[in-house]
Every structure is written in structure tokens, then in C-alpha cells.
A = this chain, B = another copy of it.
Amino acid sequence: MIRIVIGSAQVSRDTISLTPEQSHYLFRVMRAKPGQKVEALVSGQMLYDCAVTQQPDLLLQVASHAVAVPISITLAQSLLKKDLFAQIIEKGTEAGISCFVPLVTERSIVREISAAKQQRWPAIAQEATEQCRQSRVPRIEKLSTLGRLAEFPAAVKLLLDPDGVNIMDWLAHSQPDVRDWLIAAGPEGGLSDQEISGLRSAGFTAVSLGPYIYRAENAGTVAAGILTSWAFSSLSSPGDHF
């Protein structure tokens, strides 16, 4: 996916005007054709899903849904004691998580979701969405297992593991050109070695958040916060057009 970095003043309703340098980059360097998909980033603020127009004045048409944020972060998180999963929904929504998958794992102490929680969690997601300016309310999936995560269509699968590679190094080196992530995170006692190796076999990359061990209810939020600010930064696109 081609990405250009723009100023917010370049956006007007559903079109984006280009500077001469951006036109040169798009049409000469990248040889973009009408209809081609392009992402336009206002650093730290907004990511527009666009298509190149046929007009000679070189505008990008923003996709029909006006402002698209083509980022998807699914957190598959083991159930936790007390109502800590609710805390994850609240704080994770602010950090950009778009879907929560509650899991039962080997060391999960809580192994089912009470009717009261099933009612309460979507309301928490709704309230957090309004608070944080996200454009969509995160989905909350049914209770699942690690085995079933293989069926999830996310393009990039990460596993939170203190022994994994530093997430920042991973982002810099792998430069994923899609931003459709699935993060798996364990319960209070962590995932078992067998679970971790099963996830690795299923295509998950083990990443750490640095040298410290986060509590289960905190790790997913910080990981999502890192992915979100990376996705909305100029760093998240390879190339020299900034």
C-alpha cells in the first residue's frame, strides 16, 4: 500500500489535494494509476483511505465512508479474576482495540462469563468509544480458545511474551504493510510453554514490551497503544517520501 503524509489543510470534504512533491512521488516514482488505493496520513491524527482520481489536478478521492481508519486491532485475552476484563475493555478501547475475544486458556482461573458481565461489557465498550473519539464501538466476541484463533482472518498475529522480541524492533524490521493485527495475551499466570509453541506454529510472532513484566490486565492495552501510535506515525510506512 502506498502511503503519503499530508497536512490537515490538504483535506477538503472528501478530496485531498497534493503538493507538487507528493504528485511527483505518486505519479512519477510510484507510477500510480487512477483508481489505485493510497493511504493519506495526518501524523498522529487521521489516516484516510483514498483512491487516485482521473482529474488532471491530481486529487485523491477519500473513500466513500468519508474518514476511514484502516486499522484493526483484535485482542484475544484470557479471562481474568474479578472484573479485570471490563477494565481491559475500557482501557484497551482508548488504545485503539477494535475487537475483544475473551479466551479460556490452560491457566485461566475464571472460565466462564456471567450473564451480568455479558450485559455490562458492551456498555463499557460503548462508553469508552464515546470518551476516546474512536469512530466505531469495538465488537466483543463470544468466549473462545487459543485453538480457534487460527480461524481469525487477521493478517499479522502477535503473542505477548516477555521472552519475545521487542515490539518496537519487530515493527521497525518487519514493517507490516497491513494494519490488521491480532494480539494474543494470557491470564495472570501467563500462557503455558505448550500454548506458546502452539501459537508460534500457528503463525504468531512472540513480542515483548521491554524488560518489565506487565500484569495481565495492563499488557494488552500498552501493546495496542504502541501499535496505534506506530500506525498513525510516519514511521509506519517504508520509503523516503516524508
Contact = CB atoms under 8 A, between A and B. Distances in A.
B226 A166 contact: no
A31 B210 CA distance: 30
B165 A235 contact: no
B213 A225 contact: no
Contacts of A226: 222, 225-226, 229
Contacts of A47: 211
Contact of A212 (B94, B164, B215): B94
Contacts of A131: 213, 215
A46 B133 contact: no
Task: Count the copies.
Answer: 2
Interface residues of A, number: 43
A233 interface: yes
A43 interface: yes
A121 interface: no
Contacts of A221: 218, 221-222
**A-B pairs, 9 with minimum CB distance:** A44-B166, A168-B233, A222-B225, A210-B229, A132-B212, A210-B228, A210-B232, A166-B233, A169-B233
Interface of A: 43-47, 69, 90-91, 94-96, 131-134, 164-169, 172, 208-215, 218, 221-222, 225-226, 228-235
